[in-house]
Structure formats: structure tokens, C-alpha cells
Amino acid sequence: MKEVIDLLRESGAMLEGHFLLSSGRHSDRYFQCARLLQYPDKAAAALASVAERIRSDMAAGKLALDAVAGPAMGGIVVAYELGRQLGLPAFFTERDDAGIMSLRRGFEVKPGQKILIAEDVVTTGKSSGESVAALESLGAEAAALACLVDRRLEGVEIPWPFYPACKVSAADWDAGNCELCRKGVPAIKPGSRKL
């Protein structure tokens, strides 16, 4: 896990400041994983331990997978790289014109197909849950969740087997209780989801 944190730092993917997260919460740390994932060699290295743990669980009969899906935007490259390392097809879910997470672009899932959800960062699990809902509405099953960065607070549970590349702590405040807002530090919103 230390190697992954080193890769995040080296690539400038771990930012410090005052950030408005896509969940609406505030933090002093933001992970712009695209800065790391733009380098194929670093993406492969950062996700290698995740792929190895998943392969091991598959070989032991603890996990079965048919494909990998990542919620757009952050999960696209993670899904692709994990699919490449695991030898599985990889695709993504994305928001439709109404803002609902959907499977589009001709991607298809079959009833009973077991899907690994792949994310760049998991904070609340909202994007993952929305992707699962989209895939389950088509008959597929969420089998596990993998991510590059696990930045969940204590008490945020993941209902599937969970494979993070690293766990990093960061402040996480409700907008009304943000210490940085009280200090007058302006917040920036670097993520892709509209609030």
C-alpha cells in the first residue's frame, strides 16, 4: 500500500487544500487519480496488488467474475486496467441526460453475470451503488468492489468483498461543520459530478 501512496504523491494525484467532494461533503485532501492513471505503467503498478488479491480469491473459489465495470469518469481507466490484468472484459456506466447512472454505448450484461465494480476513489460508495443499481436492473450481480484509494470514514460499510489498493485518511466534514469554511478558506470542486 505504501508503494501506491508513493505513486499518488509522485504523480501529483494527492492534493491538499479545501475541497468540495461530489458527495457534497468537504475535505482537506482530494485524490485526482487521473494524474496517476494517465501513465499506463503507473496505473498497472498501482493496481497490480488488487488484481493479485482478486486472482487469488478467484482461484480459491471465494469469488467469481465475468466482467469489470467502472462508473464514469473516475472508474473507466481503473476498470480497463483491472480487466486487462484479470483477462476480463471491461466497460463503464455513465449518467444519462437525466443524471441517472446507466449502461450505454452498446455495452451489455447478461442475467446472472458477476461484475467487479472498479472505482478510482471510494468515499461514500455512492457512485459504486449507482453503478450496481444500473447493472442489477439489467439482471447482472455485483460480486465485489475494487478501488485505487479507499478514503472512507469509520462506519461507511461496503456490502461486497472489497479490494482497495490503499487506504488513506482525510478530513471529511459536513458542509455546515467544515473547519476550513469557518477559517474562510475557499473551497474548490475538482470532481466530475455535478452537485
- CA-based nearest residue to 149, from 132, 176, 183, 125: 125
pLDDT at 172: 86
Show the cell assigned to 109. 450484461
Q: What is the pLDDT of residues 146-168, one digit of tens each?
A: 999 999 888 889 999 999 999 99
The two most distant CA atoms of the chain are separated, in Å, by 53
Question: Residue 58, preceding bond cis, omega within 30 degrees?
Answer: no
**Alpha carbon distance 115, 11 (integer Å):** 29
pLDDT at 193: 54
Q: What is the pLDDT of residues 7-51, one digit of tens each?
A: 999 999 999 999 998 778 899 999 999 999 999 999 999 999 999
Q: Where are the beta strands (DSSP E) in 38-113?
A: 67-71, 90-95, 101-103
What domains are there in the chain, each with its CATH number? 2-181 (3.40.50.2020)
**Alpha carbon distance 121, 70 (integer Å):** 11
Torsion angle, CA of 98/91/192/74, rounded to 10 degrees?
A: 150
